Amino acid sequence: MAGDTGNAAVELIYYTDPLCCWSWAQEPQWRLLLYAFAGRLAWRYRMGGMLRGWDRYDDPVNAVHRPAQMGPLWMQAQHMSGMPIDTGIWMHDQPASSWPACLAVKAAELQSSRAADLYLRRLREAVMAERRNIARREVLIDLAADCARQHPDVLDPDRLGDDLDRPETQEAFRDDLKEARYQGIGRFPALIVRRPGASGIILVGWRPFEILQAAIAEVAPELGPGRRPRDAEAYRAFWPRAVARELDEALSAPARVASR
């Protein structure tokens, strides 16, 4: 589990998917939460396997049943969140599945939770803002190489390529899918906020920062509202790849606890 588990007052289980536009929309609030309570949170990503294949995909809530219908949903996520999203991939190179990317995150996790964190972020950037098809194996390997160039001591792209087909990777992904079913989670992002070993609170779907902050306050009120960065440079020192919308969230969010 990522974060300083020895001093963690709160555990976060984050159910997500690299191809989920609402998870990308949640990045400003999620990353600010990790900054605000740095050193007091432990977190783990669970891959949701949102899109196994279009032959069996059906999202009646958003009226998405085929690839061309995903573009308008991404436009909605962009409008609500302000995060950069390029919907052109759904016209020019439609991803056939999110499972290869989910498996790749689990392969990165075999190296370390830090490697999985960096790699998941790079996958999101690539598919949401760069029109890169993360259902393709060669793209997954290339993005791992991108991470390795910036963090050579964290992620080994050759090992990730080898680990994609390992039974341990497949089993880790199956465990994530099984856990999501057990928790009754079928929409992403979804977040469990709890004391270590307790049941906790489940938040499903995109949420404003104040709601995430209030969930922390309900579970661990002694943590207070958390810290805020003094300026953009301080925040980028913590999150070097922060985009403009993430900086805006971090610098404008008041240091207070809202009620859920």
- What is the model's pTM? 0.93
Q: Which of 133, 159, 134, 155 is nearest to 146 (CA)?
A: 155
Whole-Å CA distances, 31 to 27, 81, 166, 240: 6, 14, 30, 12
Task: Give residue 259's pLDDT.
Answer: 47
Q: Which domains does the chain have, with CATH numbers?
A: 2-252 (3.40.30.10)
Q: Which of 97, 90, 53 is nearest to 72 (CA)?
A: 90
Task: Give residue 24's pLDDT.
Answer: 98
Averages of pLDDT over runs of 10 residues in the chain (260 residues) are 72 98 98 97 97 81 78 95 97 96 98 97 98 98 97 96 97 98 95 93 97 97 96 96 97 64
Q: How far apart, in whole angstroms, are the C-alpha atoms of residue 99 and residue 23?
A: 16
Task: Give residue 6's pLDDT.
Answer: 62
Task: Give residue 55's pLDDT.
Answer: 86
